[in-house]
Amino acid sequence: MSEEPTVVQGRAGAAGTLLLNRPRALNALDQGMIAALDAAIVALRDDPAVKLVILEGAGGRAFCAGGDVRRIRDLALAGDAAGVEAFFAGEYAVNAAIAGFPKPWISLIDGVCMGGGIGLSVHGDIRVVTEHAMLAMPETAIALFPDVGTSYVLPRLPGAMGRFLALTGARLRGAEAVEAGLATHFVPRERLPALRQALLAGETSALADFAEAVPPGAIAAQRPAIDRCFAADTLPAIQAALAAEGTQWAQAQAAILARMSPTSLAVTLELLRRGAELSLGDCLAMELALTRHVTRHPDFAEGVRAVLVDKDNQPRWAPPPADVGAFFAG
């Protein structure tokens, strides 16, 4: 009995359809999926009958939980630099291809969408979330950094929102993702099948009939404090601002930052500072170069161990570097 493909490509009406199909792994991306997506993007781009693309995740629990970082850790520990490079280079090429896709790229996000899942959706035209969606960039918890082109996206969110999301790995639930700027539309789960059928006719205008207005919620309420506390350029200044804020929310954010890799936090701040001035292509090239240094740093293997392998959530971080600029060299 042959296994099901991990990316299911189809045609329905005027739409090309893509289904991420590793539900047991929450549709996390492995190299086979990345290669399949790369090939599908070319085929859908060149098919004149395809007017738009609909991307979804199988299983009802996740759109895409990210990249297969446990595999990357194994490659890094084995000293397989070429294997690590191949994974990230392939993934980032897919991100760039989605950004340059000439037809509407529509992601229907109903469940977990983190890391690599953000990369598959945020560079497209339309990102629909349901009340069951959960979006996050949690890389600082495993001593990586916000990648998949988010060094371009996050600095361009309003105020200090991008810096807050990048450093804390904050989880945006449902309509909060629209408030923050990572999603474009909110559609309740019960209306998603009908929306999908309407989109198969090739008209993105159908979204207006299904999407609900997002009233100011938790993110809007936190925006002033986020901007006050996360606008600073250094981690000590952010920590000082949180201490001065003195609220329960600020104390919670300070506690979150205290659990993250100090090296990853420093790298992330510098990454977003540089990304604010670069094109998406240059950001992806910067991220790829950065992976070569970060995946060799002891914090990466330790962070993945603590969060995803042993799951003891007790990482032993190395001291932060005196000069974070060395991570960006070459």
CA distance 152 to 301: 26
To the query of whether residue 116 is one of the catalytic residues in this protein, the response is yes
Beta strands 105-109 and 126-129: pairing type?
A: parallel
Token code pair at residue 122:
């945020």
Out of 56, 91, 110, 139, pick the active-site residue: 139
* DSSP of 152-199: HHGGGSSTTHHHHHHHH-PPEETTHHHHHTS-SEE--GGGHHHHHHHH
Using an 8 Å Cβ cutoff, are 136 and 171 in contact?
yes
Out of 91, 147, 287, 299, pick the active-site residue: 147
Find all residues with CB under 8 Å of 266, minimum gap 6, and list them.
235, 320, 321, 324
Handedness of CA 163, 169, 173, 177 (dihedral sign): positive
For 62, phi then psi, to 5°, come to: -150, 145
Using an 8 Å Cβ cutoff, are 7 and 43 in contact?
no
To the query of whether residue 139 is one of the catalytic residues in this protein, the response is yes
Out of 16, 67, 149, 275, pick the active-site residue: 67
Out of 16, 57, 115, 116, pick the active-site residue: 116
Instruction: Give the bridge partners for 113, in sequence order.
Output: 64, 135
Using an 8 Å Cβ cutoff, are 232 and 223 in contact?
no
Residue length of the chain: 330
Q: Nearest 5 degrees, angle CA 95-CA 96-CA 102?
A: 110
Question: What 3 state SS string does 251-272 have?
Answer: HHHHHHHHHCCHHHHHHHHHHH
Q: Closest by alpha carbon to 65, among 34, 22, 18, 106?
A: 22
Q: Point out the residues that are catalytic.
A: 67, 116, 139, 147
